[in-house]
Structure 1
Amino acid sequence: MKDLIIYQSNGEQELFVKKGIHQVKASNTTADSIIVTIDETETYQEIDGFGASFTDSSAYLINQVLDKEQRTELMETLFSRDKGIGLSVLRNPMGASDYAREIYSYNDIDAGETDFQLEQFTIEHDLEDIIPLLKEAVALNPDIKLMASPWSPPAWMKTSGSMKGGELKEECYQVYAAYFVKYIQAYKEHGLSIYAITPQNEPLYVPDHYPGSFMPAERQVEFIKNYLKPNFLKFGLNTKILCYDHNWDRPDYPLHVLDHAGDGVDGVAWHWYGGEPAAQHQVQMAFPNKEVHFTEGSGGEWIPAFEPAFSNVLRTGIEILRNDSKSFVLWNMALDEENGPFVPGFGESTCRGIVKIEQKTNALTYTLDYYALAHFSKFVQPKAVRIATTSDEVIRSVAFKNPDGSIVTILFNDSDEMKTVQLIQQGNEILHCNLAAKAAMTILKK
């Protein structure tokens, strides 16, 4: 037991790591211990990893606002497994999202024109900030998987004639599939492999103040089955196609797509802005051979700071992973002191990044999302396998067996009082300690 490492957050934005501890003894215990049992013989999904998004806004702040020394420190802290927290999944917008300095796609042309041969396709916008940071991240952590999602097709492909509102024109299904192919190929030319895409971010939500596009389930089936997947096969692309990319409250959508698109779809992407994470398991039970991914969840000022928001990420993250997800990806990697930049006309932003980079002072602050995500990403390695643990609404838990054989257990005390916890594996007590109210603990057993 010499190689037991405990990593704990106390709810006050402070982390500490204790190495070589055999046991952390409970003291002044006034209640019976809560027993959490690990069973590594019962296994579930393989893990791809944890991360966030280099939106246009995030990439700009990191690459242009920070100085070289700050940027190097931040990138190592985010992506290095030795020096940082080892983030290993990045899900980027294909073109502008709400968090961009301008509205853009990779095929912007004058109003009234068309470009069905995609002769004016270019990823030049991404060459300034996004691609350099992605390449640096991959150099720091070669295990990184890149995902990509469009908020909107190019304006000329849509019924609205704008990247805001409307939907993809039926006559543009083929050219839009080709647009995905060219994006993947263009990134490959820069040494970046796109692991997975989704056809549309949040296809059931069409905002009027930032890019978005309506894509009901029936049309997503048609696009994937008859256009996108055939184009991937034609050009020899092995990029995975994940359907839906929206909230837990509409499991009927991915169920319909999986039922009708068949082998054209590799899995489902989920967000946390509605419903419950159990929806992931519901769909997984119906289609057990399809992957489950959690691709976006943003914290923000709608959840009070610090403890309730920190608790939300820990609580929800554990439940996302207990409900079959291979990934846990938050939203913006970085935002500024005004929770931006965001597209013109967006209004007021309340979202929070993994870090805050103040444009007026260049100050860099690690937010509660960083501390919460670190409990998972620093120790759970890509290709780890989730193993069984007992869990309830008082002491929530999730555990994994890493490829090197080490066992990682994440505990979160979701009650309002200190609890005494015993961690048991194969009948042996691994840990016996007090866990403060709303505190998280990660235990690594080598």
Structure 2
Amino acid sequence: MVENAKEQGKAEVWWSSEAEPRSREWFARPFDIPYRLERQADAEITAPSPAEGETLAIFPERLHQEILGIGTSMEESTVFNLARMSESKREEICRSLVDRERGAGFNLIRITLGTSDFTARAFYSYNDLEPGETDFELERFSIRKDIEYGIIDVLRRLRELQPELLFFASSWSPPAWMKTSGSLMRGQLKEGEQYTRTLAKYYRMAIQAYREQGIELYAITVQNEPLLEIDYPSCYMSPQRQTELIAALREELDEHGLRTKIWIFDHNFADAWAYVSPILNDAAGRAAADGIAFHDYDGEPTVMRELQCAYPDLSIHLTERSLWGVEAADRFVQYFRSGASSYNAWVTMLDSRIGTHQWVGTPDPTLIVQDAEAPERFWMTPEFYLTAQFSKFVPRGARRADSSPGSAETVTHVAFVNPDGTVVAVVVNRTDRPQPFRLLCEGRQIRAALPPKTAGTYRWRRAPADTD
């Protein structure tokens, strides 16, 4: 049995903190950040003893969901801004995103099928026709613009830098000729099996076209925010229509030997039950679906836990949300404690003019900001480092460990057990004062304290098995 603190080892410690959270002044200039994913002195692992502050109990033998990945998006706005930079600067940013040793270690990237609202280009799909034309055989299908605009090249380079990187894709709109609006904006998919099967074929062809370019798509969501019609690429899609579509898409994928997973919904927590249950209570919908995707613009993440309980064979994914400061870090804690297997930020880099995009509002700060007047210059916002507090230390295959939640008045946290046997705890101090706490795990204790408005990551080896 272990007798003293030295033999029981130490825990590695990193800190990141907020600065001017959500302020659009980040687009004008960088601010000082107290901690930027900075290594601190190791914390001693000792025998348990009384300690001041919150006690965070971790039970690594009680494991929950397996983690697929943590990352961001590579929408066309980001790619357009990358194209304005030299090759060396593009390389620097790409490494900062996906390199686990020298960067954030992102391993899951969201892409768009055709344009979204965050694009510097005219809206397009992969099958744009003149008004009144149709193409049910999809003879004019092409991802040529994705190639010409450099999207494919950026994805390839990210994959080269991080061979474990996975991509999933979301569509903002079917081609305009398939829709009631006759436009990529607003409208619905036209009624009838012919349109359903053609759109399913369109998605299958997109998956194959990306594969031909060397990019495998791990998963697809067939409609981004299906309850929204707005003046950028969008499409209302009822649960019944999505059920029909994913069933047809499953047939297409199976027929062509494609293993891309289908994640349903892809919208807000508040609407999840009403949308998801009709799909998954239908035999065809249940057979076609592999996971449930969520956005966090309305409602609470606890609904993910409810739906995971209701449909335990499906994985849970937070596919879109960008937040700011330690409130964001605490929200990430809530996502994972509520069963999420992945998290992706939305929009990686805009420039100092808050461009280039076609969203209907004014965006908040992105993970990276490019100087519009000097495109070679860029800076990271605190959100880059706060997200990395999770992504850099929690690899694919990690499992969330059962643990006590902590408190918003002290510290909150989430814990994981990694494939290499290390335990990782991400602890968040949202308060305006330093917070002492202790981590209790397998008969051992780590006493620590976090500065105000700071997130800390603690990583250590599990206790050796007792052979007495």
**TM class, shorter-length:** over 0.9
- Partners of 1:8 and 1:164 in 2: CA distance: 43
Q: Output the CA distance in 2 between the equivalents of 1:3 and 1:418.
A: 22
Counting only pairs closer than 5 Å after superposition, residues 383-422 of structure 1 correspond to structure 2 as: 383-394=397-408, 395-422=411-438
Using the alignment, how far apart are the partners of 1:217 and 1:368 within structure 2? 38
Is residue 2:253 matched to residue 1:232? yes
Q: For residues 137-190 of structure 1, what are the alpha-carbon distances to aligned partners after superposition, in whole Å with 9 as ceiling and x for unaligned?
A: 111111111110110001111000000010111241111000001100001011
C-alpha deviation, 1:399, in angstroms: 0.9
Contact 2:17/2:325, CA 8 A, preserved across alignment: no
Q: How many residues align?
A: 426
Q: What amino acid maps onto 1:317 in structure 2? A: F
Aligned residue type for 1:82: E
Task: Please say if 1:219 is aligned against 2:262.
Answer: no
Query: Match of 2:335, as an amino acid?
Result: I
Whether the 8 Å contact between 2:330 and 2:413 is mirrored in structure 1 is no
Letter in 2 for 1:356: V
Tell me the equivalent position of 2:116.
97
What is the distance in 1 between the residues matched to 2:41 and 2:161?
Answer: 27
Cα pair distance change 1:16/1:168, threshold 3 Å: closer
Tell me the secondary structure at the aligned position of residue 148 of structure 1.
strand
Question: Does structure 1 conserve the Cα–Cα contact (< 8 Å) formed by 2:56 and 2:406?
Answer: no
Give matches, 1:174-189, under 5 Å.
Answer: 174-189=197-212
**Is contact 1:145–1:195 with CA below 8 Å preserved after alignment?**
yes
Q: One-letter code of the match for 2:440?
A: I
The amino acid of 1:401's aligned partner reads V
- Write the letter of the residue equivalent to 1:186: A
* Preserved contact between residue 4 and residue 19 of structure 1 (Cα < 8 Å): no
Provide structure 1 residue ranges, at least 5 long, that are not aligned to the other structure.
Answer: 26-30, 300-308
Tell me whether 145-154 or 5-14 shows the greater mean CA deviation: 5-14
Aligned amino acid, residue 387 of structure 1 = A
Partners in 2 of 1:129 and 1:294 — Cα distance?
27
Residue of structure 2 in register with 1:328 after alignment: 343
Q: Secondary structure at the match of 2:319?
A: strand
- Name the TM-score, length of structure 2 as normaliser: 0.88
- C-alpha change, 1:3 and 1:59, in structure 2 (3 Å) is farther
> What corresponds to 1:302 in structure 2?
none
What corresponds to 1:355 in structure 2?
Answer: 368
Could you tell me how far 1:224 is from its partner in structure 2? 1.4
Which moves more between the two structures, 354-363 or 405-414? 354-363
2:17 to 10, 27, 33: 10
Q: 1:326 Cα deviation (Å)? A: 0.7
Q: In structure 1, what is the equivalent of residue 86 of structure 2?
A: 67
Verify: 1:78 aligned to 2:97, yes or no. yes
The 5 A counterparts of 1:309-388 are: 309-343=324-358, 346-362=359-375, 363-388=377-402
Distance across 2 between alignment mates of 1:103 and 1:197: 20
- Structure 2 counterpart SS, 1:117: coil
Amino acid across the alignment from 1:95: G
1:199 pairs with 2:222? yes
Q: C-alpha displacement at 1:21, in angstroms?
A: 1.6
Question: Does the aligned pair in 2 maintain the 1:35–1:423 contact within 8 Å?
Answer: yes
Answering whether residue 81 of structure 2 is matched by residue 53 of structure 1, we say no
For residues 314 and 222 of structure 2, what CA distance do their matches in structure 1 show? 16
Equivalent in 260, 263, 282 of residue 287 of structure 2: 263
Residue 16 of structure 1 and its aligned partner are, at CA, apart by: 4.7
CA distance in 2, matches of 1:348, 1:219: 29
RMSD of aligned Cα (Å): 1.7
For residue 190 of structure 1, what is the aligned residue in structure 2? 213
Tell me how far apart the structure 2 counterparts of residues 51 and 287 of structure 1 sit (CA, whole Å). 25
Shift of 1:214: 0.2
The 8 Å contact of residues 270 and 300 in structure 2, kept in 1 or not, is answered as: yes
Q: Deviations over 1:206-252 (max 9, x none)?
A: 11x21100001111112112x11111111111110010000000122
Alpha-carbon distance between aligned partners in 1 of 2:37 and 2:108, rounded to the nearest angstrom: 25
Post-superposition shift, 1:333?
1.5
Structure 2 residue matching 1:249: 3-state secondary structure: helix
Structure-1 residue corresponding to 2:443: 427
List runs of 5+ in structure 2 lacking aligned partners.
1-7, 20-32, 462-468
Code of the aligned partner of 2:197: Q
Q: Which amino acid aligns with 2:177?
A: W
| Distance apart, 1:421 and its partner CA | 0.6
Deviations 1:296-346 (A, max 9, x none): 0034xxxxxxxxx21221011110011111101010121111322113xx5
Distance 1:239 1:347 in 2: 32
In structure 2, the residue corresponding to 1:186 is in which secondary structure? helix
CA offsets, 1:255-296, max 9 Å, x none?
Answer: 221111111101100000000000111111100111100100
